[in-house]
Amino acid sequence: MQDLMKVAYLSRSLTRSIMGTGQELLFWPGMDINWKRILYAWGQVRGILLVPAMRLAVLLCIIMSVMLLAEKLFMGGVSLYVKVFRRRPRKVYMWEPVGGDEELGTAAYPMVLVQIPMYNEKEVYHLSIKAACSLQWPSDRLIVQVLDDSTDPFIKDLVYKECQKWTTTGVNIKYETRANRNGYKAGALKEGMKYRYVEACDYVAIFDADFQPKSDFLVQTTPFLIHNPEIALVQARWKFVNADECLMTRIQEMSMDYHFKVEQESGSSVHAFFGFNGTAGVWRIKALNEAGGWKDRTTVEDMDLAIRATLEGWKFVYVGDVKVKSELPSTLKAYRYQQHRWSCGPANLVKKMAIEIVMNKKVTLWKKLYLIYNFFLTRRIVAHFLTFFFYCIVVPTAVFFPEVYIPLWAVVYLPSTITILNACGTPRSIHLIVFWTLFENVMSLHRCKAVLTGLLETGRVNEWVVTEKLGDALLKMKPNGTQSFSKKARTKYFNRFHLLEIGLGLYLLVCGYHNYMHANNYCYIYIYLQSLSFILMGVSYVGTFVAS
């Protein structure tokens, strides 16, 4: 009986000693010498290695938090200034309508090429083709180029017939294919620029297969290029047709609205530079060629081109008043693939271009600093690592280390301010701010993995998976005219599980339980919510499931 009591006490004490040194157990009468050695070793490792490591981790995370907050405040201040003082692009740059000369007729309009790259876009191919062919521009001054890399013969036939249909209406539309998919989207765009008829064009507008520009898109954007020879790119804003589809798309809308309303607008206003979004933009072909054209060395060929163009001295303009309809990923699988590409690519790109940026002599030191520190380091590396390691690892793990102090302002006020600044871009979704925070924290795990993949150039560094678009396939009309979601997909059961997220969710459960039992704060509430988020997303209980 005495031995059983000894084991029970030892078990309880070991549990409590997780947050202590374990030294108090060394004085248990009759304790085995091996146990004393183990507990002594644990106390030494904890005191010499783990506690200092935790304190260093907290310090680094606080530094990164301050970096990110300063960046958010600066961009938010610029965006507010532009809005309050109405410093819109038309006031900053020269802008006049095109085609006012009756004597010149359609010759007053520059030749514009519209490129639509696509790959097995069964659900949306007709949307982008229709929108491009309906643009307000003289038919003899417009060329629509459909770059079809589809591997499904049935889909290729559908796209070809759609192009033929518009040809009969008088639209100058070209249907182009190639024998392989080398370079993916960048390879298709590069190949599309080689055709002889492109030589007559001055500008090229690019739209992904799910993008639907309004008919006056070229009328609103090309005057910036025509009247300002130093401008290389005019970028429009994305507007999402399926933002209300599910909670995941609402959360994405919050992030994307902040990106366009704050990040893109501040970059355009202060530095005349921002990352090209790969679609819904118009390029000056001369600038595109001077920058070296399309390259497929990373999964962010659009950002690559933008960096090279700005290093040549070209300026960019973001026009937030021009909105182009597009589609958000509504399935977790599609969103994960997209975020991997968007996180891995920039990390890989900065590794390839850092020296080139530093050594460049055509741009100012201020712009070089902006590119390296603000554009790449803070937004595309620090932001991801801070979100994951601080809020998902360091803060929960700190419950086992009561001697490690995390200031309240660092763990509450700083992240709350950053979160509110992000949410201001979408006022209608301000009530979803808690869900947005938890969702972004979970996705930061996936983004951190992608950043490391890009920096180390391992694994899926060059993986380019086309984001699945659903178009109208997801929805069906009810008799009363409202819309409802289709039935749950019959997907492979195992594919729904993401073990890393589930494992981290279970670890957070342990952290939350320990905090609840041994601490005098309410940190366990946040830890439990974050744990639940990891587990739910680990079993793919988020987004929309589409019947196959």
pLDDT tens digits for 330-358?
Answer: 999 999 999 999 999 999 999 999 999 99
Confidence of residue 20 (pLDDT cuts 50, 70, 90): low
Residues 406-421: pLDDT tens digits? 999 999 999 999 999 9
Confidence of residue 378 (pLDDT cuts 50, 70, 90): very high
Structural domain including 154 reads: 87-329
Residues 174-201: pLDDT tens digits? 999 998 999 999 999 999 999 999 999 9
DSSP 296-311: -SSS-HHHHHHHHHHH
Query: What is the SS3 assignment for 72?
Result: helix
Task: Give the closest residue to 527 by CA, choosing from 508, 503, 540, 543.
Answer: 508
Confidence of residue 489 (pLDDT cuts 50, 70, 90): very low
Q: What is the DSSP letter of 291?
A: T
Which pLDDT belongs to residue 30? 57
Confidence of residue 548 (pLDDT cuts 50, 70, 90): very low
487 in a structural domain: no
151 in a structural domain: yes
30 in a structural domain: no
Please say if 302 is a catalytic residue.
Answer: yes
Confidence of residue 157 (pLDDT cuts 50, 70, 90): very high
- Rounded CA-CA distance 120/386 in Å is 37
243 in a structural domain: yes
**CATH code where residue 247 lies:** 3.90.550.10
Q: Among 259-263, 302-306, 465-469, 491-495, where is mean pLDDT lowest?
A: 491-495
Please say if 157 is a catalytic residue.
Answer: no
Which pLDDT belongs to residue 42? 80
Among the listed residues 148, 257, 302, 304, the single catalytic one is: 302
428 in a structural domain: no
- Helix H or strand E encompassing 169: none
Task: Give the closest residue to 402 by CA, choosing from 518, 286, 504, 311.
Answer: 518
Residue 264 in contact with residue 302, Cβ under 8 Å? no
Instruction: Say what the pTM is.
Output: 0.90
Among the listed residues 149, 208, 257, 296, the single catalytic one is: 149
If one counts every other C-beta atom within 10 angstroms of the C-beta of residue 69, the result is 16
Residues 38-81: pLDDT tens digits? 777 888 888 899 999 999 999 999 999 999 999 999 999 999 99
Structure tokens at 177: 């294919």
Residue listed under structure tokens 């459909």: 146
How many domains does the chain fold into? 1
Determine the average pLDDT of the residues in 221-241. Answer: 97
Q: Is 130 left (phi over 0), alpha (psi -120 to 50) or beta?
A: alpha
372 in a structural domain: no
82 in a structural domain: no
270 in a structural domain: yes
